[in-house]
């Protein structure tokens, strides 16, 4: 995925189960643990434009989690508006820019 003026940065909180990064909603959907990896899903990958929103509303659902920082372009947007920070958008393709692992505080 080439960087262009239409690229956006979004965030997705995931569970980490037995070392595998997976969707909180559907744990059989897993994601690569490698920066630069491209994720594709024609059904859509849910994310938010606001890191704070994701941390406030989607963290703490699993003992270990990973916050994915994702890059996507306008053509990949299936639903939602990237100008709306406190909400979800759905994209068909994105690139992992960063992975931040988090442990649930006891």
pLDDT digits (tens, 9 = 90+) for 21-30: 999 888 888 9
Q: How many helices (H) and strands (E) does the chain have?
A: 1, 7
Report residue 86's pLDDT band, with 50, 70 and 90 as the boundaries.
confident
Give the rounded percent of residues in the chain with a pLDDT score beyond 70: 92
What lies within 8 Å, CB to CB, of 35 at 6+ separation is: 96, 97, 98, 99
pTM equals 0.89
Q: What is the pLDDT of residues 2-53, one digit of tens each?
A: 545 468 999 999 999 999 999 988 888 899 999 999 999 999 999 999 999 9
**Domain ranges in the chain?**
8-103
Determine contact, residues 55/72, Cβ cutoff 8 Å: no
What whole-number distance in Å separates Cα of residue 102 and Cα of residue 95? 20
């Amino acid at each position: 995925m080439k960087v262009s003026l239409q690229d956006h940065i979004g965030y997705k909180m995931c569970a980490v189960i037995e070392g595998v990064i997976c969707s909180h909603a559907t744990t059989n959907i897993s994601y690569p643990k490698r920066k630069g990896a491209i994720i594709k899903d024609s059904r859509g990958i849910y994310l938010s434009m606001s890191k704070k929103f994701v941390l406030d509303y989607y963290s703490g659902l699993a003992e270990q989690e990973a916050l994915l920082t994702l890059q996507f372009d306008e053509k990949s947007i299936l639903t939602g508006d990237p100008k709306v920070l406190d909400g979800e958008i759905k994209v068909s393709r994105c690139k992992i820019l960063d992975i931040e692992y988090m442990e649930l505080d006891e």
